Amino acid sequence: MNIGEIKKDRKFWQRMLREAGFYDGAIDGIRGPKQRTAETKWEAACLGLAQLHGTFDQRSEENILTLLPNAQKVARQWLAAARKMAAGMGVQVKIICGTRSYAEQDRLYAKRPRVTNARGGQSWHNFGLAFDFGVFSADGKEYYDEHKCYKIFGQKAAEIEGAEWGGAWKSFKDEPHVQMRRFSSIKEARAEFERS
């Protein structure tokens, strides 16, 4: 999803603004003055991070901009480092997935053949905290769903303050996945995100 699509899901977008610390109004889907102020703060935060940490390819940018500002910071710091490593290894690295609204997650859940076991509110990607990266050929045309670079780039993510790499998880290893270290479980993240 891109940020424009996320904003169309009005309540979801209000929850994102609240998680970013910019909005303390009602989660009612009505765009009032508090929300407009929050959106101005959001835009300024995104712009500041892009100026400080740099911008990347279009696909990565689209996905980064769906993340909470704290997660955008991690994503930009990590991608800058990973791209330097990738250049020396003859591959490209991009952020291929960011935030999905609950509605989008439900739409994916309904797909056959099955692409996810998570419904809206059951994925780390539903709270603005998580992104997935992809490894591609040097010309960017071929996507590798398995490659030794997942581990190498993922370990780099684990070095960034406040970040957690899915490849380090004990039960289910998710090598393309990086997220903010903020909640100990999806259940906990969901309770925070959905509070009224």
For the bound state, the minimum distance from the C-beta of residue 106 to Zn ion, rounded and expressed in Å, comes to 17
For the bound state, the minimum distance from the C-beta of residue 174 to Zn ion, rounded and expressed in Å, comes to 6
Give the CB-nearest residue to Zn ion.
Answer: 177
**Residue closer to Zn ion, measured from CB, 172 or 196:** 172
For the bound state, the minimum distance from the C-beta of residue 125 to Zn ion, rounded and expressed in Å, comes to 6
**Residue closer to Zn ion, measured from CB, 38 or 68:** 68
- What is the number of other CB atoms lying within 10 angstroms of the CB of residue 144? 13
As a whole number of angstroms, the distance between CA 111 and CA 194 comes to 25
Strand blocks (E) in the chain: 91-97, 130-137, 143-144, 163-165, 177-180
**Residue closer to Zn ion, measured from CB, 132 or 164:** 132
Is there a contact between 115 and 96 (Cβ–Cβ < 8 Å)? no
Nearest-5° angle of CA 184, CA 186, CA 188?
65
Q: Nearest 10 degrees: CA dihedral of 36, 42, 43, 49?
A: 170
Interface with Zn ion (CB under 5 A): 132, 177
Which residue type is seen at 64? Answer: I
For the bound state, the minimum distance from the C-beta of residue 20 to Zn ion, rounded and expressed in Å, comes to 20
**Residue closer to Zn ion, measured from CB, 38 or 149:** 149
